[in-house]
Amino acid sequence: MLNFRKAAVAALAVGALAAAPTVLPAGAAQAQGLASPRIGSAASLPSPQLAGRGTTQVCAGIAHNRCMAQLVTVAPGSTKALATSNPAGYGPADFAAAYNLPAGNAGPANTIAILDEGAFPTLEANLNAYRTQYGLPACTAANGCFKQVNEHGGAPLAPGTTPDEKDFDEQVGVETTLDVDMASAACPSCRILEITVNRDMTTSEDQAAEDFGVAMNTAAKLGASSASVSYQFGPDATLDLGQAARDFYHPGMAITASSGDGGYEGTPSGWPQNLPTVTSVGGTALYRTPGAGHNGYTEVAWDGSGSGCAAELPPALGQPTSASANCGGHRADADVSADADPTTGAAVYDDYTPFSGQQQSWLAVGGTSQSSPYIAGVYARGGHLTNVEGPNTLYAAAPSAFNDVTLGQNAPANSGCTVLCVSGTGWDGPTGLGTPNGLAGF
């Protein structure tokens, strides 16, 4: 097992990166429904319904629970979700085209573990409403495709009974349905293992993170090929060097985590995506560009995509010095990316509202909570997992395995930003190595 205490080195200031600059509101430029002029006036959003809308962070009011999801709202400044009777965001076929994935249901029946807090007793039905809409095969407990357990592997967490618990479950439910839908979109033939992590509503952030570590061990015990965590916690010595970090080391199981939704984080960056044994997944804005780009799609770095340095930790496993040198020889994030801008984000199905009772069905959701489970699904579908330890196999892959994202940044213009927050040729902080170009890199 990797010895984090021996591998870790003394924290140090990384020059001007020690203080993160103020960043623009996530998706600010895209929220107006206007594509960047640098990618052409023909670029468009997934649906005209998404133009001129607002965005809001999912589960923003829940203590210790920073789920990295952004919800499209009815108007700028509003927190009311844009709920539609038909999908407004991208579906599996859009992502498959943009990322050059095999057609149909080709791929192994590997297991993708999704780790989320709270209860969601109707998740199986919601998941299959999504899969039915897009012609994906049914994924049920009866056919062995879907399984839901608690963090120890027993019966899933029971639905909340108090108003606070119901509110918690409803808010986090948007995160959960996004995760399982994106895993399905990336690998329709894969099995879904959803692990309901304890509601840590009043306990410390460290305890919440430790519960995710327990759940990660359960994912490995139950045979998951990949696992995704769409949450982020503030780093500290206990998390970076303690048992929770060791729980995120399972060779042969790809572990992905959201890089963050607040743009450039500086030093230190959030946990667990900062761990050397985890693939940090950033985000892009994905536009339709008929006749141009990659299979009719073009990407720029999403301005909310997290990046930064883990100055208290060594480089990610396999990360070359050309990347870690930007962080003084320490872990630099992100490693890889996929669509995450909510205004160019995914359509997901969610009708579980135990607190508000509001009627909703199709939502448009983004954030690096969208990209992390999608990349976990690509890992599972690619199936090249024998030698996986953190992002090592990504860095060993040929550059052609990724769509290099060379436009955009996640910090204000004229901020003196470096490759850690400005996209360019090769590795950069907001998008890592780029987005999938087929399965060769996974």
Which string of DSSP letters, residue by residue, matches 104-154? TT-S---EEEEEEES--TTHHHHHHHHHHHTTPPP--TTTTSEEEEETTSS
Residue type for position 371: S
> Which residues pair with residue 348 across a beta bridge?
363
* C-beta separation of 370 from 344 below 8 A: no
Q: Measuring CA to CA, which residue among 344, 276, 254, 339 is closest to residue 305?
A: 339
Q: Each residue of 74-132: pLDDT tens digit?
A: 999 999 999 999 999 999 999 999 999 998 777 789 999 999 999 999 999 999 999 99
65 confidence band (pLDDT: 50, 70, 90): low
Specify whether the CB–CB gap between 368 and 307 falls below 8 A: no
Compute the distance between CA of residue 31 and CA of residue 163 in angstroms, rounded to an integer: 33
Dihedrals phi, psi of 39, to nearest 5 degrees: -110, 10
Question: What distance in Å separates the CA atoms of residue 249 and residue 224, rounded to the nearest whole number?
Answer: 13
Output the six-digit token pair for 89.
Answer: 């965001």
For the whole prediction, is pTM greater than 0.85? yes
Q: What confidence score (pLDDT) does residue 225 get?
A: 98
Backbone phi, then psi, for 309, in 5-degree steps? Answer: -130, 145
Quick: pLDDT tens for 357-407: 988 899 999 999 999 999 999 999 999 999 999 999 999 999 999 999 999
Query: Length of the chain in residues, anyone?
Result: 442
For residue 170, which amino acid is it? E
CA distances from 190 to 110, 137, 174, 376 (A): 5, 10, 21, 11
Q: Residue 439, Cα to own-chain centre: how many angstroms?
A: 18
> What are 276's two structure tokens?
């050397």
Per-residue tokens: 275? 């761990």
Q: What is the mean pLDDT of the chain?
A: 89
Can you tell me the distance from the alpha carbon of 25 to that of 31, in angstroms, rounded to the nearest whole number? 10
DSSP H helical segments within 222-314, as ranges? 237-241, 243-246
Could you give the domains of the chain? 4-436 (3.40.50.200)
Task: Let me know: does 306 contact 432? Beta carbons within 8 Å.
Answer: no
Q: How many Å apart are CA 321 and CA 331, to the nearest integer?
A: 10
pLDDT at res. 204? 81
For 229-271, the pLDDT digits (tens) are 999 998 887 788 889 999 999 999 999 999 999 999 989 999 9
- Structure confidence by residue, pLDDT tens digits, 158-188: 999 999 999 999 999 999 999 999 999 999 9
Q: In whole angstroms, what is the distance from residue 131 CA to residue 192 CA?
A: 12
Tokens representing 427 are: 């590795």
